Chains A and B, each alone.
Chain A
């Protein structure tokens, strides 16, 4: 093994890289936004690059807010967000912006109850009551009613929430706003809110760490995170009265149940949907694509990528623990691609 051979190999690699760069047909797209779908997006952009070596899509996971800002400033070709853009933001945009749902995320209630082995069931009223600070003890009749025989302790509930602005918080507060009038008027929905009670942990790992360490605590984490880390979590009662655990299927079912009533611009909340099989605390995450792309090459790539993402790309979702889009939504989105000009 000589140094000469190593350097020859290096030279070859560098020249290959250079020739790839020198090809005139390379189209580079820049995108930025949500962190939650980053693993699947980077997988998609990587696989797409493999199929089309002359296309490169750079994605910066700087957060939904940053993604929307950069899109409005025109510094990226498309953005990504865990929460839909507001009417005001859409009005501020220089061109019309389309929302393309890509995958689904869901939140699960995770808790630390020493001595309780039964898997807990949560009703919407219980979750809202706990996060509003109205239900403060684990043996409150409202919790015990849904969990007979669980042996709930007479201890104070330590509520744990995300401290950083996040799509996970958006889904959680969107859900609580739908099931509780008091939550909607007192707290509302957003990526960061004014929490009535609780401790804040930074990121899914921060919340999970606090829940794991703090006895008698209850927090919420992203389903993907809970699955990848084998965390225990409770089931939630949906609008049909069924207690369901979040799974990739029950989350997809939530999206399917709103597909028929989906608005033209796909800005739809899928929390607390109708349907007995639908998990109630789920949401789309969106790519934000301008309807007018001046550069013909970029326009062609964006349209082709979206079409690929909706079909072949969906096979990469479940290995990464993301819930797939239901067929009804895919069909609607495929039509919307034609709006990009």
Chain B
């Protein structure tokens, strides 16, 4: 077939002729090369999942679905369950978001809408710098500053005022879910600020001017005209931060307490998936043990995948609603 093609006069095939012309002008080459790059990302992801799937075969056979719901993690007895780690991962990430989202969006609004340009640019530079700090540094800050503060000031205060809630009961060790969440919040705030600011700056000036022309105050224009317009992008920044929080390893390992424990109390020590992988992988001997760690990695991948999928759906839904409101 291939030889037949080359012998046929390309002039009789307009599509082929067009393709050759684009090839000569370079468009087609650029398309193929960029397509290759795009495909490599997908292939890499598929390869990763396939490896994790293969390597976790033993554990999947041994435990089946109970792996996801078992609370026991006992390398000596060969009993492995993922539930405490999934719980710790989701809880610390959620706590991080609860602290970081209002803080980050507020800062982004100030930088994009209210601050003078010079101050805004200077602060943004500093914030981008924060995003580049290695996570082990945040972990050390967590151990030496956040943990003692938590143990001596914040946790006792929370225990005294809100101690009737199960969330704030139990001994104040200083390390645990709450500290993990707070350190995560500090780490992801720069991402939220940086991306949200860009998104807000991309909102057309017309949008603000129209609101101001109708007699809105500066804040009303921001809150009612700019924010709804930028909603999809702002949500995107939050989910980018969430993705980072889910996979964060070093800083969380250093402050979460590393105890596979499901407790309603935020003061209690816990564990996250990324932390247990970092802790136990290098010394893990035995095929089932390794396989269980691989399956944990697979679970982390799935959790991230599902949350990102939900984020996509949410963004699509709100984008529709947002643009509808913008038209009104």
A residues lining the B interface (CB < 8 Å): 35, 62-66, 68-69, 83, 86, 89, 156, 158, 163-167, 187-195, 198-202, 206, 209-210, 213-214
B residues 146-171 near A (Cβ < 8 Å) are 147-148, 151, 171
Task: List B residues at the A interface (Cβ < 8 Å).
Answer: 72-77, 79, 143, 147-148, 151, 171, 173-175, 253-254, 257-260, 269, 271, 275, 278-286
Q: What's the A-B contact tally at a CB cutoff of 8 Å?
A: 97
Q: Are B258 and A63 in contact (CB under 8 A)?
A: no
Q: Which residue of B lies closest to A164 (CB)?
A: B279
Q: Is the interface of B mostly helix, strand, loop or mixed?
A: loop
Given contacts A193-B76, A199-B175, contact A63 B282 (CB under 8 A): yes
Q: Known: A201-B258, A214-B173. Contact between A65 and B76, CB under 8 A? A: no
Shortest Cβ gap from B72 to chain A (Å): 7
A192 to B258, CA, bound (A): 12
Cα separation A28 to B142 with both chains bound (whole Å)? 43
**CA of A202 to CA of B139 in the docked complex: distance in angstroms?**
11
- How far apart sit A167 and B282, CA to CA, in the bound complex (Å)? 11
Residues of B within 8 A of A35 (CB): 282
Roughly how many angstroms separate A187 CA and B175 CA in the complex, as a whole number? 24
Is B75 in contact with A62, judged by CB distance below 8 angstroms?
A: no
Nearest first, the 4 closest Cβ-Cβ pairs linking A and B are: A165-B283, A200-B258, A63-B282, A163-B258
Q: Give 25 pairs: A residue, B residue, CB < 8 Å, sorted on A.
A: A63-B282, A63-B283, A65-B284, A66-B282, A69-B285, A86-B285, A86-B286, A89-B285, A156-B171, A163-B253, A163-B258, A164-B279, A164-B280, A164-B283, A165-B281, A188-B77, A190-B76, A192-B279, A194-B72, A194-B260, A199-B173, A199-B175, A200-B258, A200-B259, A214-B173
Q: Is the CB of B76 within 8 A of A198?
A: no
Say how far B55's CB is from chain A's closest CB, in angstroms.
Answer: 12
Contact A213 B283 (CB under 8 A): no
Q: Given A188-B77, A195-B259, do A206 and B254 touch, yes or no (CB 8 Å)?
A: yes
Residue of B nearest to A88 (CB): B286
Asked if residues B269 and A199 are in contact (CB atoms below 8 Å), the reply is yes
Shortest CB-to-CB span from A61 to chain B, Å, is 9
Task: Evaluate contact between B254 and A64: CB separation under 8 angstroms.
Answer: no
> Could you say which residues of chain A place their CB within 8 Å of the CB of B174?
213-214
Q: Given A187-B76, A200-B257, A202-B254, is A164 in contact with B282 using a C-beta cutoff of 8 Å?
A: yes
The distance in angstroms between the C-alpha atoms of A153 and B51, with both chains bound, is 53
Contacts of A156 in B (CB 8 A): 171
CB atoms of B75 and A213 under 8 A apart: no
Question: Residue B258 contacts which of A188, A202, A209 (CB distance < 8 angstroms)?
Answer: A202
Q: Is the CB of A198 within 8 A of B283?
A: no
| CA distance in complex: A209, B143 (Å) | 8
- Chain B residue nearest to A89 (CB atoms) is B285
- Chain A positions within 8 Å of B148 at CB level: 213
Cβ–Cβ contact B283 & A202, under 8 A: no
Q: Do the beta carbons of B258 and A191 come within 8 Å of each other?
A: no
